A and B are shown apart, each in its own frame.
Chain A
Amino acid sequence: MPCLEVKNLTHYFGGLCAVSDFNLALDAGELIGIIGPNGAGKTTIFNLITGIYRPTKGVVRFKGKDLTGLRPAAITVRGIARTFQNIRLFNNLSVLDNVRIAHYAGMKYTPLEGILHIGRFGREEERISESSLELLDRFNISELAETEARNLPYGMQRRLEIVRALATKPLLLLLDEPAAGMNPSEVHRLIDFVRIIRKEFSLTIILIEHQMRLVMGVCERIMVLDFGATIAEGTPEEIQNNPKVLEAYLGQEAAV
């Protein structure tokens, strides 16, 4: 049974079709990429899968269960996490707090215990803090645990976003342009990073990217979107030579 199944996913914003008939069958452990020119609908697909929008048409099934129409929090709890194109950290909160929030859903005390700081409160808080710090340490950011997120350098912010997503203990990770703003050597490190977390956390990953080196270097399968429609699908080699892809990116002249 595929881990993620997307069937006939279509979404309209008013009269504009952002995504048309997107289909995907993803097995557990796969690492695939979605590429395409700006405005092709890639982020919208992520938004639809994670519940930010309710799709106009189509179905999203995760581990056999229908996710369509659920609220984002409910979807995250089921095991899907994502990062954002333009980093959405909790800027005025500390690095540690950013990760601690990811433990919200698994929290084991009631509001009353939270208000009075009694009962399971102490132990749970300790557990959450430790789990968060361990994770931060694993990725070498624990030194900055008490710094405010907005004061981190850009590369660290990107890393923190991924760490935060990992803290929700996902099975499927959606990375939206994780290499944006990175130079070639940073991209190289990111490639290793993605491979490592995939193995260590047993993740299935979908990647949206513009940086071809990252996509070709790490994805097993690639889907190409243009104006909301899927124009090609295949291995990196197949995609690189596909005339339709070249046309979408570079225009008709280049494809010839």
Chain B
Amino acid sequence: MMTGSSFFLSALAGLLACCIIQRYKLINPYILMVMMYVGINIILTASLNLINGYMGEFSVGHAGFMAVGAYVSSILTVRVFSAQYAQWFFPLALIAGGMGAGLVGMIVAIPSFKTRGDYLAIVTLAFNMIVKSAIENIDAIGGPRGFLGMHRLTTLPWIFIWTVLTLWIIRNFIYSNYGRGVLSIREDEVASELMGVHTRRVKVLTFVISSFFAGVAGGLFAHLLQFINPNSFNILKSTDILIMVYLGGVGSIIGSILGATIFTVLLEILRPLQVWRMVIMPLVLIFLMLFRPRGIMGLRELRLFVPEQYRKAVARWRLKRKKYDAVS
């Protein structure tokens, strides 16, 4: 990765650019909207990639976590915080939404201890459905009619901040010992346990991080659209996120970015086709599965994203060794 300081500088520059664009309305509002959706989708894709790509598990109900985050954050900004201060409480609401989603993620992690593959897929889908059904049954938050009243609190700078934060945290997590634990679970769970990895703890941790960010994405989504209903978070939404993960590449941050961007943009470009979009999309997915099941950047990463310490570990050691041998 670029060294810490150059990373922060470029992030700051990017943030500044976003603020300027937003404030002075430099970009056509439609394109701005699409950019913001891209950001939300990147967060969703990267967070799902953590479970499906890096950990090799099979979570198919990601929209359920999004729903929790969306509703929790919306209820907070509309019912709890007073309108004029909602803007300042926005990040708190998002984090609260994320934590709510994280809690659900912790629960979903438990079945993953004993089940894999198809069964886990069903469990996670069932969770998705249960969350959706539960929301439909709670009349106080609108039930099937949905919930509205949110202010347009999601802006380009906020999207930028959260997207960068998500990617940064996920990348940090992966290139740490915990991340290695995650990867080892994917490769061979039994061997992983035998190497001393607490697979259960790692799974819970990963699910929580993943669902947290999905919840944040849900909150950003809710305050962009300003209206949410249970149907926005059904299996079709989960499938969209799956497509983005498997399109861009499993177990890859640049893959998540690519998948989310291509998918969102493609969907917009194909908008004139209306309902035929949804006919083409699954065909694209099937095509991918048949010919490139790991996605465009499957298991590969952009060198820029790999931490320097990690990349140069072997070289540094060899250098040290040489010096040591030369001295002795």
Chain A residues in contact with chain B, CB under 8 A?
Answer: 50, 52, 71-73, 76-77, 81-82, 84, 88-93, 96-97, 100-107, 109, 111, 114-117, 121-122, 124-126, 128-130, 133, 137, 145-146, 164, 168
Contact = CB atoms under 8 A, between A and B. Distances in A.
A105 B197 CA distance: 6
Given A96-B314, A101-B192, A104-B180, A115 B309 contact: no
Contacts of A97: 180, 183
A103 to B, nearest CB: 7
Contact of B299 (A92, A102, A104, A137): A92
Contact of B180 (A50, A91, A100, A164): A100
A128 B177 contact: yes
Interface string B61-99: 000000000000000000000000000000000000000
A111 B179 CA distance: 10
A125 B193 contact: no
Interface stretch (B15-23, B168-176, B229-237, B255-263): B168-176
B181 interface: yes
A114 B171 CA distance: 10
Contacts of A122: 309
Nearest to B4: A117
Classify chain B's interface size. Answer: 20 to 34
Contacts of B193: 52, 71-73, 76
Contacts of B326: none
Contacts of B317: 129-130, 133
A73 B177 contact: no
B169 A115 contact: yes
A81 B313 CA distance: 26
B195 A104 contact: yes
Q: Among A106, A124, A129, which residue has the most Cβ atoms of chain B within 10 A? A: A129
Nearest to B320: A130
Nearest to B171: A117
A82 B194 contact: yes
Given A81-B194, A101-B195, A164-B195, A114 B176 contact: yes
A125 B309 contact: yes
Contacts of B309: 122, 125-126
Nearest to B315: A146
Given A105-B196, A116-B172, A125-B309, A90 B183 contact: yes
Interface in B166-221: 169, 172-173, 176-181, 183-184, 187-188, 190-199, 205, 209
Given A125-B176, A129-B317, A146-B314, A101 B198 contact: no
Given A52-B190, A145-B314, A107 B195 contact: no
A84 B191 contact: yes
Nearest to B177: A107
Contacts of A104: 177, 180-181, 195-198
Q: Among B177, B187, B191, B194, which residue has the most Cβ atoms of chain A within 10 A? A: B194
Given A93-B183, A105-B196, 9 more contacts: A52-B190, A90-B191, A91-B187, A104-B180, A104-B196, A105-B197, A115-B172, A126-B309, A129-B313
